[in-house]
Structure 1
Amino acid sequence: MISPQQVEATIKEKLPNAQVKVVGDGEHFEAVIVSADFEGKTRVKQHQMVYATLNEAMASEAIHALSLKTYTPNAWQAVSQV
């Protein structure tokens, strides 16, 4: 079983400039990632970038389900002011 902190650390390792918050129960996780690396990329491409950081955990089925919310810094600022 993998912890939310381990998932968070893995994402931060591959996307070092990202702000990451992960919650979960050891199999099902929800992650919010804010990164300037997402600028100019579609939501699908942003999610692919995050999934790529977790490829090993996903392939081994340590992570059964992952819900992602990805934002650029500007988009996050707009959302968090609502």
Structure 2
Amino acid sequence: MAIIETTSRQFRERQKDFFDMADKGEKVVIRRGRKQSYVLTPVSEEDLYFTPEMIQRIQDAQQEIKEGKSTVIRSKDDLDAFFDNL
């Protein structure tokens, strides 16, 4: 199985394709600039990442979203405004 390498820009443009590749077991490496890279890896409920504490945090976040306590970002301007307000 080959390693699929992409840039962060290409990843943003074709996220679904790269997620599908990772779901099928392909090794996807995303380069960010010249010095940093990331591996796209599917996570399942059986992974250690999903501790009871993490599951509770996710459930709390889902509840906050239902209650409208979230920020919706639909455009670059929304994102810029969000970061400007931090």
- Alignment TM-score, normalising by the size of structure 1: 0.31
The structure in which a higher percent of residues are strand is: 1
Larger Rg: 1 or 2?
2
- Alignment TM-score, normalising by the size of structure 2: 0.31
Which structure has more RCO (C-alpha within 8 Å, separation ≥ 6)? 1
